[in-house]
Amino acid sequence: MPLTQKPLREQTIVVTGASSGIGLATARMAAERGARVVLVARNGAALDTIRDEIVGAGGQALAVAADVGVREEVEAVAAHAITAFGGFDTWVNNAGLTIYGRLWEVSDADHERLLKTNLWGTVFGSLVAVDHLRSRGGALINVGSLGSDLAFSLQGMYCASKHAIKGFTDALRMDLLEAGAPISVTLVKPASIDTPLPQHARNYTDSEPRLPPPVYPPEEVANAILHAAVHPLRDIYVGGGAKALASLKEFAPGAYDLLAPAVTGFQKRNEAPRDPAGSLHAFKADGQTRGDHPGYVMRNSTYTRLSLHPASATAVVAGLAAAALLVGAGARGRNGKR
């Protein structure tokens, strides 16, 4: 039987990486829709400001500073949520970092820090969430990436971490299904999203990093995450560009590999690096959902919105097909053909 979840306004939602980007957009949107929100990130001061903003607007929010790469700190997040709100219904593992540079250029310490946040943060968050949700039900939502399905140059360990998150999420889903646990598990795979991720990155290159197009707004990912909190889906691509590239990699991997020079070029601006250290080891400025992408940012993703409502998508396709048949029949009639 398909799992069903509470309406969003009746939920408590934990969001990691809530101090900027997708996490912040998700927390704000959830609060606007009536959910109680637990904000999690390393930057406690930024979280306090965001909490006050949400509460000032009439919402309910709790700020908990934590490093998701430390299990004890993640367990403390769950404990705070239980004390403040009696528990939680959805846990969103979103915290993530990236590094720009050739794999052989990046230090072991930097690789380790990235994996601690991206992979182990997701693992610890998932296992702590499952411990709580196994008896009461709920949703676990892990934010992967287009990099969960394919790799791209300059961000090799980031892609490795997102590949690992996909494998872990798929295996955990199977374990929960076998155990009969009432927990939905969703992997969200965004394309390039206009967040401060490039500005927060550790940068080994000689250029300021940028996102390869097409680029989508963080609110599009937030909307997909919150949809999955109520209407469980297994996987969600955010951005038709993500789905198209994943399909190319699947059916023509060699052809995709040949795109490496172009992919590298798309990830560099024509300017010197601003802050090569980034926020990998120590958080810096937070509180922004958007980055400063120099190119065009899509308003939304029609592909993603249709994928969230497959019945509507089927109806749209059927309607277009029927219209095409009618047009074709009219043309044949005008030409005196049957």
296 carries an active-site annotation: no
Give first-to-last CA distance, the chain, whole Å.
48
CB atoms within 10 A of CB 251: 9
And the tokens for 116? 């601690």
In this structure, what token pair is assigned to residue 74?
């993640």
Other Cβ atoms less than 10 A from the Cβ of 140: the count is 27
User: Strand, coil or helix: what is 63?
Assistant: strand
Spatial contact of 212 and 190, defined as CB atoms under 8 Å apart = no
* Cα–Cα distance for residue pair 82/157, rounded to 1 Å: 35
β-strands 202-203, 183-190: how paired? unpaired
The two beta strands, 90-93 and 138-143, are parallel
Alpha helices in the chain (DSSP H): 21-32, 44-56, 71-85, 108-115, 121-136, 156-179, 197-200, 218-230, 240-251, 253-257, 260-266, 302-308, 310-334
Catalytic residue among 158, 237, 256, 303: 158
8 A C-beta contact, residue 289 and residue 21:
yes
Query: Which residues are known to be catalytic?
Result: 158
